[in-house]
Amino acid sequence: MAKAIDRIFSIIQSLGMSARQFDMSIGASNGYTLRMKKNNASVGSDILERIVEKYPFVNITWVVTGKGTMFGTENTTSADSSVNHDKRLTYNEVEAIIEQKIKAHQERELSNLMDQIKNEINTTKRKISE
Closest CA to 100 of 18, 17, 6, 9: 17
Query: Is pLDDT above 70 for 77?
Result: no
For residues 112 and 99, give the distance between their C-alpha atoms in angstroms, rounded to a whole number. 20
Rama region for 24: left / alpha / beta (φ>0; ψ in -120 to 50; rest):
alpha
Q: How is the chain split among helix, strand and coil, in percent rounded to 5?
A: 60, 0, 35
Q: Which is higher by pLDDT, 86 or 13?
A: 13
| pLDDT class of 16 with cuts at 50, 70, 90 | confident
pLDDT digits (tens, 9 = 90+) for 103-119: 878 888 999 999 999 99
Closest CA to 17 of 95, 110, 103, 98: 103
pTM, full prediction: 0.58
Query: Is pLDDT above 50 for 83?
Result: no
Extents of the domains making up the chain: 4-129
Query: Is pLDDT above 50 for 48?
Result: yes
The single-letter DSSP state of residue 22 is: H
